Structure 1
Amino acid sequence: MAEPKLRILQVMRAPVGGLFRHVADLTRALSEMGHEVGLVVDSLANDAQTESKLAALLPHASLGIHRFAMPRVLGHGDLTTPFAVRKLARTLKIDVLHGHGAKGGFYARLANFGGKAATLYTPHGGVLHFSRSSTSGRVFHALERALLSRTSAIIFESAYAQATYSSLIAKPTCPTHIIHNGLAPAEFEPVPPNAGAANFVFVGELRDLKGIHVLIDALAGVQRPDGSPATLVMAGDGPARQELESQITNLGLTARVKLLGAQPARPTFARGHIAVVPSLAESLPYVVLEAAAARLPVIATRVGGIPEIFGTTAASLVPASDSNALRTAMQAALDDPETADNQMKLRLAHIEEHFSLARMSGDIETLYHQAIAPA
């Protein structure tokens, strides 16, 4: 007998970054499967880009997109929004509440007190980034422990996230599942480099945590096989842009580094031959998946769930915050393109098997049905 179609409410704070990418992909996939999906998002941090992203998702959200106050850390909305979400869930007769990120998980599980919906939670790194020593960290970690009894299941996007949650917060008392993020079939189409493409390409937010300063330090000593200086394009924006520009100028790299501003990833991959992801910390970054699926060799750091993406090529990962190691890896990729290409092909096969959108959405759908099944 066919499984029943579900009424699902996805709860997240802000439609930005990898978290929103995951929720958007999942919403579209669930809608295509015949389920009815609604979204709950923050009303405090809207801008033109946010509204554009949500408008594009609206045709797949048959239960609507609903906005409530969701302060980034702690605020008045934390006292009122769970009640508003609970009322909405009951009005819409929701079968599954799925919270994403620290705040989304907080609201979804509090909203279901006294309710009958299954409540699932995907941290997406969020609460895992709070330090035990900070006030916010202590508060959110205590809330996590208190809400475990209200959680039908936790979905971790990587084994790294699962292990970090257990060591940092508590060993979950509810079922847990590792379901990797996935890419759509079109994202596995090759992206060949443009004429005049730089040697290296970076796509990400311009902030310290992304390792951008380590990357610039590393680039300074990298040369092409003909002895000319290696070049880099960087797509992204963020709070560290001004500091980054000063670093580039001080190192005399203005002719070698081009800052493109915020740009979509796939078209940007054509601006470089080799992708570099020098992050100091990550969960399971989409940009690594996207670059590898686009057929680019990828140089990345051994942080978060990146080794899970690299599979049998994980030995090529470099330590975070180590400009010398990163420089050596970048130079090796230029000096021995055949090895870099062979590793790319192995990585691609691994990602095609384990990181597809069909696999991700299908596994989550199965988990939803398991969560609402009678005990």
Structure 2
Amino acid sequence: MSEPRPLRIIHCFRSPIGGIFRHVRDLAEAHARQGHEIGIVCDSTTGGSYEDALFDEIRPFLALGLIRLPIRRSIGPADLKALWNSYKEIRSLRPDILHGHGAKGGALSRIIGSALRVNRYCVARLYSPHGGSLHYSERTLSGKAVFFLERLQEYLTDAIVFVCDFERRTYETKVGMPRVRSQIVYNGIDDRDFEIVAARPDAVDFLYIGMMRDLKGPDIFIDAFARTERIIGRPLSAMMIGDGPQQGEYEQAMVKLGLGRRIKMLPAMKAREAFARTRNVVIPSRAESMPYIVLEALAARKPVIASRVGGIPEVLGEDSKALATPGDALALAHVMADALTQAHWPAEVMPDEVRFKAIFSASAMSANIMRLYSELVSKQDSAPEPSSRSA
């Protein structure tokens, strides 16, 4: 049996920040090391020096290059220009795979992939929601419009990849049962991320790390921290690391609550560097899909306290005592207090290390994704050519 041929793979996504960016970087590196050619198309207006440094790290694995152009977050006329510019760039690269991540990335990959196929060029079109549009409510007009567009785009899709069962179930509820091939491939992290990160002597009690926007719950973290101090009856320490549009609001909230000296704010940095600064990691999100920060923290052997949202219970366990009701600062505070006052809390609450690594490793993730890519390309290669196609 002949070896599968190297594939030309392009990942499309909007924002080079957070979990989607991490997911694409891991896939790009793993598949490039296997001999495949990888490219990235993403927004040029998002991110800063930290993201630029991450791009520099991944460039050696991008044989098809890095294409950055303006892609707005909201839907509007500017999308047509972004679509046309992306099409011109991608067409010249002649990809075998177009994998879109998030709502905007999914639209780019599927529309452009379909345009290429109209022009008699076969390319497999994949979509991974990563939460994205699934965070909308099906009861709102905007949500209904988004889910209608999601359903419509299934006609342009060869496969949908969900990063957790929660995401799959949410899609089925809000959009409908997929009418194309779909499967779950859990996010995974590299073996080098499974090394223990010891806490520094000056480590704080709690860490929030992520985007500074309400969806991720920084305001809940601040409120819960203040309540935890009252429950325990002494001053505590915390740190918030990240960047985002609402950072100023959270700084003002800390000042009003008199927490300015006990909660320190720092700009975005690598997760493992941040983990050394804390004894516990808190993920207070209002909504999530399968956040990488949970996986990274557990791999570094940091106790995790989180909201019961998205795929987090699939990692920590459905009945985990580390989970709190989403949006409930008091419930989160009680979990935070338990983590500090119960000596054996981490050992009793955190998931089994061996099982965790077997499920959430980057090697398993990249192998499952590549298996899907290869099957879709083989199907494309073996499909009969349209009778109208010239020899």
- Taking structure 1 as the reference length, the TM-score comes to 0.92
| Pair 1:356 & 2:361 matched | yes
The answer to whether the 8 Å contact 2:166/2:289 transfers is yes
Q: 1:263 aligns with which of 262, 266, 269?
A: 269
Distance 1:50 1:299 in 2: 26
Partner of 1:155 in structure 2? 161
Partner of 1:167: 173
Q: What is aligned with 2:251?
A: 245
1:230 shift after superposition: 2.2
More deviation in 162-171 or 172-181? Answer: 162-171
Would you say 1:188 and 2:186 are equivalent positions? no
Give the whole-Å Cα distance in 1 for the aligned partners of 2:264 and 2:316. 28
1:290 aligns with 2:296: yes
Which shows bigger deviation, 271-280 or 48-57?
A: 48-57
What amino acid does structure 1 have at the position aligned with 2:25? A
Specify whether residues 133 and 343 from structure 1 end up closer, same or farther in structure 2 by C-alpha distance, changes over 3 A only: closer
**Aligned AA (2:375):** Q
In structure 1, give the amino acid aligned to 2:72. Answer: P
Distance in 2 between residues matched to 1:230 and 1:57, nearest whole Å:
38
Give the letter for the 1:37 counterpart. I
CA, structure 1 residues 226+76, in 2 after alignment: closer, same or farther (shift >3 Å)? closer
- Looking at structure 2, the residues matched to 93 and 329 of structure 1 have their Cα atoms a distance apart, in angstroms, of 51
Asked if the contact 1:313–1:347 (Cα under 8 Å) also holds between the matched residues in 2, the reply is no
CA RMSD of aligned residues (A): 2.3
The letter for the 1-side match of 2:40 is L
Shift of 1:74: 2.1
1-structure distance, mates of 2:358, 2:230: 34
Question: Contact 1:10–1:99 at 8 Å: present in 2 too?
Answer: yes
Contact 1:310-1:347 at 8 Å conserved across structures = no
Following superposition, the deviation at residue 133 of structure 1 comes to 5.7
Question: Where in structure 1 are there 5+ consecutive unaligned residues?
Answer: none
Q: Which moved more, 1:109-118 or 1:70-79?
A: 70-79
Q: Give SS of 2:264's match.
A: strand
Give the Cα–Cα distance (whole angstroms) in 2 for the partners of residues 104 and 198 of structure 1: 37
Percent identity reads 40
Give me the TM-score of the superposition, normalised by structure 2.
0.88
Q: Distance in 1 between matches of 2:330 and 2:352?
A: 24
Give the residue type in structure 2 aligned to 1:54: F
Report the Cα distance in structure 1 between the residues aligned to 2:347 and 2:165, rounded to whole angstroms. Answer: 27
- Aligned length in residues: 374
Runs of 5+ unmatched residues, structure 2: 384-391
Q: 1:136 to 1:268 in 2, by over 3 A?
A: same
Q: Which residue of 2 aligns with 1:342?
A: 348
Distance 1:78 1:34, change over 3 A: same
Offset of residue 25 of structure 1: 0.9
Cα displacement (A) at 1:132: 4.0
Structure 1 match to 2:305: 299
1:210 correspondence with 2:211: no
| Residue pair 1:311, 1:347 contacting (<8 A) in 2 also | no
CA contact (8 A) 1:214 1:321 kept: yes
Aligned partners of 2:81 and 2:303: how far apart in 1? 48
Deviation at 1:47, TM superposition (A): 4.8
Q: Match for residue 370 of structure 2?
A: 365
The answer for the alignment partner of 2:68 in structure 1 is 67
Amino acid at match of 2:4: E
Q: Which residue matches 1:314?
A: 320
> 1:98-149 CA distances to partner (integer Å, 9 max, x unpaired)?
1111111101111122241111111111111234466654443222211102
State the alpha-carbon separation in 1 of the partners of residues 259 and 197 from structure 2.
27
